[in-house]
Amino acid sequence: MFKEDEVKKLQALFERFTKTVEFSLYGTEENKFGQKLENLVAEVCRLSDGKCVVVKNAPDSEAPIAPCFKVGLRGQLNIVYGALPTGHQFPPFLKILETLGSAAPSVSGGKDMPDGSRAELLVLISDSCPRCPLVVEAAGMSACTDPAILTCIADVMQFQEFVKEYAIRSVPATVLDREIVLIGAVSADRIMELVRSRGTPKFEMERIGSLIERQNIEEAAGRLGSDAGRAVLLDLLEDVEFSKRLSALVVVEKALEINPDAVRAMVPSLLPMLSHDDARIRGDIADLLGKIGDPQVIPQLEFLTRDPDPDVAEAAADALEELKG
């Protein structure tokens, strides 16, 4: 299972262990891949000479993926492997074992949700991806040092359902709380920044941004039903970066189809943007107000037809025509 040099590194590591590292197995009897995971855990335990053990009745009786093995300290098996940590995935696995076997007691720096749920990191990798080990190490070390984080490392070839569910186009892909998808290299600092933002407007902005990135416009539009969702989209509509503003406009126009009342509730917040210093934003908001169709904005749009920027004036005139029609 392990190469000769990997065996030597494991044996040298186990000599420095001051704690017992525990493993638990889930669904490994179901297929050949599960059997490979089970054999790997058995090999690690054999090489450790009792420093690593398999727990038959782990305190946490569920796993977010299967087949898999969990690894951690007693009562805190919060690192889940649905991938074989061999080859170029071996170094981050070794680092995780080193941290678990010799680290001081972990202290939560993350943020539990009001219902007490832990932050869940799902890291989708490929055994041929040279960038994946860096993300695995970042996510794994976050869980090593923080019991409020559950890190799941999954081989994308073995868990194809995630490719469709999260519209994954490349790996590594990191999914936080089954909502925010980050593609490419993600640092431990970035992970902790997101974890600490759970339950805040910043997290909502990240969530909507992720939905837009994955072209899940309808679900992003559904977020307009919440105050936090509306606040995020209002910020995006006022962003000077065209791509962000365009994405927000697409989401709001989609929301007009599925939740028009939520969009109309945004009108009082949209009106001040008609005086924005950026002419592009004034024009975009005028166009949007025409689509929303609230007759109360007619005086403001009529005033905007005299805007010094001809494109803004034209947008206001077109919006008025659409609104009155």
* Token digits of residue 217: 């416009």
On the question of pLDDT at 114 being above 50, the answer is no
- Reference 97, options 33, 158, 143, 155; nearest CA is 143
pLDDT digits (tens, 9 = 90+) for 236-293: 999 999 998 999 999 999 999 999 999 999 999 999 999 999 999 999 999 999 999 9
pLDDT digits (tens, 9 = 90+) for 176-199: 999 899 999 889 999 999 998 988
Beta carbons of 298 and 260 less than 8 angstroms apart: no
Which positions ≥6 away from 268 have C-beta within 8 Å?
none
The secondary structure of 187-248, three-state, reads: CHHHHHHHHHCCCCHHHHHHHHHHHHHCCCHHHHHHHHHCHHHHHHHHHHHCCCCHHHHHHH
Instruction: Dihedral sign for Cα 85, 86, 88, 92, please.
Output: positive
To the nearest 5 percent, what fractions of the chain are helix, strand and coil?
55, 15, 35
pLDDT of residue 253: 93
Q: What is the pTM of this model?
A: 0.81
* H-helix or E-strand spanning residue 302: helix 298-304
- Rg over alpha carbons for the chain, rounded to the nearest Å, is 25
pLDDT digits (tens, 9 = 90+) for 119-151: 999 999 998 899 999 999 999 999 998 888 999
DSSP one-letter string for 27-48: STTSSHHHHHHHHHHHHHHHHH
Measured CA to CA, the distance from residue 163 to residue 306 in angstroms comes to 51
pLDDT digits (tens, 9 = 90+) for 45-102: 999 999 999 997 555 556 789 999 999 998 789 999 999 999 999 999 999 999 999 8
301: confidence class by pLDDT, cuts 50, 70, 90? very high
